[in-house]
A and B are shown apart, each in its own frame.
Chain A
Amino acid sequence: MIAGIDIGSRSMELVLMRDNTVVEQRTLPTTFDPLRQLERLLEGVKPETCVATGYGRELVREAGLPCEVHTVTEIKAHAAGMHYLQPEARTVLDIGGQDTKAISITETGKVRKFEMNDRCAAGTGKFLEYTAGVFQIPVEDFGAYALRGDNPPVINSMCTVFAETEATSLMARGARPEDIALGLHMAIARRTMNMLRRVGLTSPVAFAGGVARNPCMAELLRRDLTREQGELLVPDAPEMTGALGAALLA
């Protein structure tokens, strides 16, 4: 049995595969004690080979697991995982807890070119989580809430802290909170489209990572892509893509 393990900043995922078939998937929050969470994630399973990815991949290597551990970057893992889920995809977008990545891939699922944000969490899941807090809405519901907006103000700031300031001052001027929430999502979509363009934006674009579960983000990106004769694909369990890819790369 092969285990693909993706340790992200926000959550960790496990995909177990046997004979190239997924037999089980699990996910847990990373928390401040990722080693303990990793133990829990692997409770009761005994894979022979573990392939770790994500920013915590070295942690898995050092954890002393009773399996052979390899590591791959989340770029390569997402490319491989998405190629398996959506073989027609030519660009992979992954928006996770603290990273955004745009990956151009070949028809065999190899990385052709990639871009990622560097030291700042602008436009990532963290940004959504932080701004959802301003509205006192759980981040899981923030997308549906934003979709209720119909007159979004233009939010210019992509800095997490400044965007909050901008949202707060818009509220003070009486803008509807749903509209502001939509405006914030649109700011992320603009930034994301720019990153996709930097890797060439070949359609179809497949959306991975936890933020792909946000219906407003998916809707806005779908609209933007359709305008450029493109297509957006979202797999059923977008947050599992990295772990799946890691398992496939064993």
Chain B
Amino acid sequence: MSESAYREMWENLDLDLEAHDGLLEVLGKFYGDIFMSQQGRLSGAEYLDFVLSEVHGLRIKEIQDAKAEGKKIIGTFCVFVPEELTLAANAVQVGLCSGADAGKEQAEQLVPRNTCALIKSFIGFKLAKLCPFTESCDMIVGETTCDGKKKAYEAFGEHVDNLYVMEVPQRKDEADRKLWKSEVLRYKDALEKLTGVEITAERLKEGIRIVNEKRRALQRLNALRAAVPTPISGRDVLLVNQISFYDDPVRFTAKINELCDEIEGRIARKEGVVSEKTPRVMLAGCPMAVPNWKLPWLVESSGAVIVGEESCIGTRNSRDLVDESGQTVEEMLDAIADRYMNIDCACFTPNDERLDNVESMAKELNADGVIQYALMFCQPYTHEAIKVEKRLSGKDIPSLAIETDYSMEDAEQLKTRVEAFLEML
């Protein structure tokens, strides 16, 4: 499809074309520097390159075509929105733009300055008219994870007319599970009303199957990274995780399984993307939304390789599956509610299972050390950074805690820290 046809599509979505051109240019340059410069990449990474190059092009065109066929588009910012239900309602679920500084000054008029970069970003993308996903949505689903987000949705809601907020409980007792189940039901009703599609047992079973298959492919990919030398770069796997939020799930699953087949061949030949002596680092903490590639790029250009992402755009999204034994809608809704209550998001208190998960993941992936990543002003994850550090040092796993945002002004200082950490391993 030609660039001019895309422009017409972006114009119809009321994007700020000039600013959007600037954004795509920066994105393209970044991508070239950070991804295309890698040595020994897998041939399956072509899929990643193609999808990323068409993130605001072909994928948006597909979404517009789906809309023309009567499908509804659901935008999300969080792994708590059950995609199983969205698919069962014959709708499309996409993650919305939140990984770059965009419209920051405008966003700071709606939320306090000491709000994390991710929140400012999704508001900024909306106000600056830069995200074609946000503009394509029939419903945008927010959630009450952290205080920053839940208050930001109040302000955001004044600028979109289709915001729906799910209440995520903050503890994991029986009452909380009940609340969450009722929220899952309320979401089901909202979807049925929006789409006019009744979520039947048959449809829901298929939705669960598709999303489970997607998660199984990601689990397979993550397990393969335990190999020494590691067969794929952390940058490429972060990209896989990022793409999992906006590409068609069935196509994505097939492509990632192909990638895994290729990786298995590589492992059998004892080939790696780097030498086996390269320090292996696991990342843990806040999500890195497209195009937030800053820390992985700093780490991997300092002579290490990333072997795992303990993050929402990482294993927090793929670790647990929905039980597939349910036959009735009610049984399946229970299975969905249970699966999502297992998420070890830092918004829960207590959240000790996350400490166990970080520790066991670092061991399973043969990581030499853990770098904790927190967005500046993210209270839940900066609090947990202290606990995670304690747990890891008690198990003799070196760790480094970093707090940063989307700007590049601290890149040199971060590089010094990361290099000093790698020297310790």
**B174 at the A interface (CB under 8 A):** no
* Chief secondary structure at chain B's binding surface: helix
Across the interface, A73 reaches (CB within 8 A) one of B404, B409, B419, namely: B419
Interface residues of B in 411-425 (CB under 8 A from A): 412-414, 416-417, 419-420, 423-424
Separation in Å of the A145 CB from the closest CB of chain B? 31
Query: A129–B159 Cα gap in the complex (Å)?
Result: 48
Among residues of B, the one whose C-beta sits closest to the C-beta of A71 is B419
Interface residues of A in 14-30 (CB under 8 A from B): none
| B-chain residues with CB within 8 Å of residue A222 when the two chains form the complex | none
Inter-subunit contact A55/B416 (CB<8 Å): yes
| A-chain residues with CB within 8 Å of residue B403 when the two chains form the complex | 118
Interface hit among A43-51, A108-116, A131-139: A108-116
Among residues of A, the one whose C-beta sits closest to the C-beta of B422 is A73
**A119 at the B interface (CB under 8 A):** yes
Inter-subunit contact B416/A74 (CB<8 Å): yes
| B-chain residues with CB within 8 Å of residue A126 when the two chains form the complex | none
Inter-subunit contact A119/B416 (CB<8 Å): no
Number of A-B contacts (CB under 8 A): 33
| A-chain residues with CB within 8 Å of residue B423 when the two chains form the complex | 72-73, 75-76, 111
Query: A111–B424 Cα gap in the complex (Å)?
Result: 6
Inter-subunit contact B410/A118 (CB<8 Å): yes
Instruction: Choose among A72, A75, A112 the residue with the greatest number of B CB atoms under 10 Å from its CB.
Output: A75
Inter-subunit contact A76/B420 (CB<8 Å): yes
Query: A169–B100 Cα gap in the complex (Å)?
Result: 40
Separation in Å of the A147 CB from the closest CB of chain B? 32
Across the interface, B413 reaches (CB within 8 A) one of A76, A110, A112, A116, namely: A116
Interface residues of B in 379-425 (CB under 8 A from A): 403-404, 409-410, 412-414, 416-417, 419-420, 423-424
Across the interface, B420 reaches (CB within 8 A) one of A55, A111, A118, A119, namely: A111
Query: A112–B413 Cα gap in the complex (Å)?
Result: 19
Among residues of B, the one whose C-beta sits closest to the C-beta of A56 is B412
Among residues of A, the one whose C-beta sits closest to the C-beta of B389 is A113
Separation in Å of the B113 CB from the closest CB of chain A? 15
| B-chain residues with CB within 8 Å of residue A76 when the two chains form the complex | 420, 423
Query: A73–B418 Cα gap in the complex (Å)?
Result: 9
Query: A116–B412 Cα gap in the complex (Å)?
Result: 13
Inter-subunit contact A110/B410 (CB<8 Å): no
| A-chain residues with CB within 8 Å of residue B409 when the two chains form the complex | 119
Among residues of A, the one whose C-beta sits closest to the C-beta of B402 is A118
| B-chain residues with CB within 8 Å of residue A111 when the two chains form the complex | 420, 423-424
Besides A73-B420, A74-B420, 6 new A-B residue pairs in contact (Cβ under 8 A), listed by A number: A73-B419, A74-B416, A75-B416, A75-B423, A114-B420, A118-B413
A positions within 8 Å CB-CB of B: 55, 72-76, 99, 110-112, 114, 116, 118-119
B positions within 8 Å CB-CB of A: 403-404, 409-410, 412-414, 416-417, 419-420, 423-424
Show 12 residue pairs from A and B whose CB-CB distance is below 8 angstroms, ordered by the A residue. Answer: A73-B419, A74-B416, A76-B420, A76-B423, A99-B413, A111-B420, A111-B424, A114-B417, A116-B416, A116-B417, A118-B404, A118-B410
